[in-house]
Amino acid sequence: MTAMRNHYLRALFFLTFFCLFSAGGSAQRKMVYYYVDRIGEGDALYYYSYINTPEQGEQPCVMVLQADEEGGLQRFGSVKSYLEDSLAYAFGNEPQETRLLMSKSGELRRNREAFDPGRTDWVILKNYPKEGSRVVLDKVLTDKFRSDETDEAPRWTLGSETKEIGGYLCKQASAEFYGRKWSVWYAPEVSVPYGPWLLGDLPGLVMEAVDESGDHTFSLLRIERRDTPILYRKTDYLEAERSRVLEQQKQYYRNRGRYAKGALSEGSYTTPVSDSPELPFSPLRVY
């Protein structure tokens, strides 16, 4: 936890520093929105509605899959993070006046598809940094994590059932994956092996996916064929196995106040943060 505490303290310091100086004339101050690297070029966007019932009720979060259909690189995350990174890319990693940043951030927050009713902070990059590998970016409180993994796919059992979704005749498949049992519907007519989250590698695009508990549901909203830069947000990540990040999240949702108190403790100093009621926690990945 020492490294995490140091990260939190640095973030708190810079936030305080920014607030103090911006109060004296934000139009004259400049800062970088985010730093991003262009790691590839996508030629298609697949938008999905994602519902995590225990954490966000029936309010969906809109997710987007960027895919390079020739090179294999994929990025999956919330529309909110996609638009934030796109804005950072438009700024060219250069400092901007804080008034402009606040204005553009406000426009982004007013975009209905950028609304995130839950805590969908994670981003998945497949076939990055090399083919057959993946990177999962996530955060707990203010700590940013990067997990590098082999890109394992579900072991699908193809069923015989069919149904029509969005004008496509779809087939059913099922698999147990990272502690959850999934049932998906894919469209062979859309002959790309893509799906939401890690639920791909089928002979057609995944149109719907639901886990056995009913906690998690993905539904395809639309497909856009256009070129977009695939971006990687650069920051001071803590490298950790995904299981460790999930354990940290579990502790955080169990008691946010106690977690923040531990993160802000440094030597004999302890912040006066009270305990918090437990929040629902239902990750896509159990382990």
Q: What is the CATH number of the domain that holds 169?
A: 2.50.20.10
Average pLDDT, the chain: 88
| pLDDT reported for residue 7 | 44
Better-scored residue on pLDDT, 16 or 136 = 136
Q: Kindly report, residue by residue over 89-114, the tens digit of the pLDDT.
A: 999 999 999 999 999 999 998 999 99
Number of structural domains found in the chain: 1
pLDDT top residue among 5 and 55: 55
Write out the DSSP string of 220-284. EEEEE---EEEEEEE--PEE--HHHHHHHHHHHHH-HHHHHHHHH-BTTB---PPP-PPPP---S
Instruction: Please indicate, yes or no, if residue 32 is contained in any of the structural domains.
Output: yes
Per-residue pLDDT at 271 exceeds 50: no
- Structural domain contains residue 280: no
Distance CA 62, CA 50 (A): 6
pLDDT higher than threshold 80 for residue 62: yes
Tell whether 226 is covered by a domain. Answer: yes
Backbone angles phi, psi at 4, to 5 degrees: -65, -40
**pLDDT for position 260:** 80
pLDDT value at residue 263: 62
Q: Which of 197, 169, 177 is nearest to 186 (CA)?
A: 169
* Range of the structural domain that residue 82 is part of: 2-264
Q: Is the predicted pLDDT of residue 117 greater than 90, yes or no?
A: no
Evaluate if residue 274 carries a pLDDT over 70: no
Residue 51 is assigned to a structural domain of this protein = yes
In a domain, 272, yes or no: no
Cα 144 to the chain's mean position, in Å? 12
pLDDT over 90, % of the chain: 75
pLDDT in tens, 174-209: 999 999 999 999 999 999 999 999 999 999 999 999
What gap in Å lies between CA 4 and CA 225, rounded to an integer?
Answer: 41
pLDDT at 249 over 90: yes
Q: What is the pTM of this model?
A: 0.86
Residue whose tokens read 């029509």: 164
pLDDT at 257: 83
In a domain, 59, yes or no: yes
N- to C-terminal Cα distance for the chain?
20
Which has more pLDDT, 6 or 85? 85
CA dist., res. 135 & res. 139, Å (int): 13
